[in-house]
């Protein structure tokens, strides 16, 4: 006799379990772990990612619930704990009926303690277990961010309760109100539209015509701070996947876009083709690349821990610790020094990271040899102010009434040599 067919939806849950393992045990990003979803169709891929993402977003609170229903705590890396995390994320966050959760979760523990998982899950639902209004940050993260930004860890955690809305940057900022109405969204700066999440990007009006591209509001600010290009030369030093390059091209800069990732540069080229914009694209390492010319403007949105993107990438809450922060800060310092050497006299450099760690932002900005050009409040969305040093620090808890934004550090400099 042939074995009974698998329950519908089991492959997606199996992939979600592999995603969780890749993040928590191997320290991979959800993007790096996408091979765990190989062979899944579009809807199942989306489901696997949603289940794993919600489990990571609420991991601390899910573990608290699990521990409250077991006589002895399950080891942190025990498979039954991982499966229970996925079960509870589905029932408490995604609204999956309990019978469907059980039918697609217990087979993941074939040969293991199914009764334990079933019993813990059922006991928690029977007693009306709920999650708090906002996720609890992992203790080490909460301590680190509260130390760096007193009073902000609470608002940051609150901003993680839901995946963020979708931000679009427009090719023609004069059409901001028109596109906001057409897409059913709102705007916080000219050239920006924010729409509710959950819509397939490729099906939205204007996508095929290249009228806009997806880019978080905070991520769009560094390029804006370089102003109009008027035909001058700009270097986008870590360019892929291309949103900043498109902004600079629209602003009239002659853009050289450099990145060492061939795969991500292909995304940049695709965006250039779709929008009809132009840039010189170079595959190279920014630390060793030699340019025959200096640049009037350089945008260095440097590789970083990306902890500021925790609204969209909850895996960073569990992958990043002191070692990764130190390693990234060393790389960023080297890239800042290299960028400064490519800047023409009178040229401007904007340095940015999507990190909430001061070692990757404020600490480095205070050490650069170039003179600062303070960021002004009138260059920013209403409700966002520069720091006393003339830098910009955003976090996910800001503009909460409008859906928040990523955590970024941005500073602007000039070569007065």
Tokens of 324: 């990764």
User: What distance, in Å, lies between the first and last C-alpha atoms of the chain?
Assistant: 81
Does the annotation count 354 as an active-site position? yes
Q: Give CA–CA dist 49/90, Å, rounded.
A: 12
Question: What dihedral angle (degrees, nearest 10) is formed by the CA atoms of 89, 28, 74, 138?
Answer: -70
Ramachandran category for residue 230: left, alpha or beta (phi over 0 → left; psi -120 to 50 → alpha): left
Q: Give CA–CA dist 348/374, Å, rounded.
A: 12
Active-site option among 238, 304, 310, 354: 354
Residue with tokens 């939806």: 9
Largest Cα span, the chain? 81
- Residue 348, CA atoms < 13 Å, CB-side half-sphere: 17
**262 φ/ψ angles, rounded to the nearest 5 degrees:** -65, -40
Catalytic positions, please?
Answer: 354
């Amino acid at each position: 006799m042939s074995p009974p067919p698998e329950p519908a939806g089991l492959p997606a849950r199996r992939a979600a379990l592999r995603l969780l393992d890749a993040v928590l045990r191997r320290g991979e990003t959800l993007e790096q772990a996408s091979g765990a979803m190989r062979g899944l169709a579009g809807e199942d891929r989306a489901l696997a990612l949603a289940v794993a993402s919600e489990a990571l977003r609420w991991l601390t609170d899910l573990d608290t619930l699990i521990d409250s229903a077991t006589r002895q705590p399950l080891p942190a890396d025990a498979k039954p704990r991982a499966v229970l995390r996925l079960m509870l994320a589905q029932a408490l966050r995604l609204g999956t009926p309990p019978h469907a959760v059980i039918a697609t979760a217990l087979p993941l523990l074939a040969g293991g303690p199914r009764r334990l998982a079933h019993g813990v899950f059922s006991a928690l639902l029977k007693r009306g277990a709920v999650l708090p209004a906002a996720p609890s940050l992992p203790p080490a993260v909460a301590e680190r961010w509260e130390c760096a930004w007193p009073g902000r860890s609470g608002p940051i955690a609150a901003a993680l309760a839901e995946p963020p809305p979708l931000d679009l940057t427009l090719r023609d900022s004069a059409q901001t109100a028109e596109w906001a109405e057409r897409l059913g969204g709102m705007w916080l700066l000219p050239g920006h539209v924010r729409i509710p999440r959950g819509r397939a990007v490729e099906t939205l009006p204007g996508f095929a015509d290249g009228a806009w591209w997806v880019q978080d509001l905070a991520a769009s600010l560094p390029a804006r701070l370089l102003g109009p290009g008027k035909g001058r030369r700009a270097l986008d030093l870590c360019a892929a996947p291309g949103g900043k390059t498109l902004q600079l091209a629209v602003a009239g800069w002659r853009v050289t876009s450099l990145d060492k990732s061939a795969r991500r540069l292909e995304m940049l080229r695709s965006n250039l083709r779709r929008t009809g914009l132009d840039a010189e694209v170079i595959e190279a390492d920014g630390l060793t690349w030699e340019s025959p010319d200096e640049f009037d403007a350089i945008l260095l949105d440097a590789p970083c821990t990306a902890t500021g993107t925790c609204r969209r990438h909850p895996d960073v809450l569990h992958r990043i610790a002191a070692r990764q922060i130190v390693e990234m800060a060393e790389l960023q310092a080297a890239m800042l020094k290299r960028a400064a050497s490519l800047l023409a006299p009178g040229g401007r450099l904007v340095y940015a990271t999507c990190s909430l760690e001061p070692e990757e932002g404020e600490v480095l900005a205070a050490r650069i040899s170039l003179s600062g050009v303070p960021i002004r409040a009138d260059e920013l969305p209403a409700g966002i102010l520069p720091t006393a040093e003339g830098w910009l620090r955003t976090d996910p808890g800001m503009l909460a009434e409008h859906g928040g934004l990523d955590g970024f550090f941005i500073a602007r400099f000039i070569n007065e040599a």
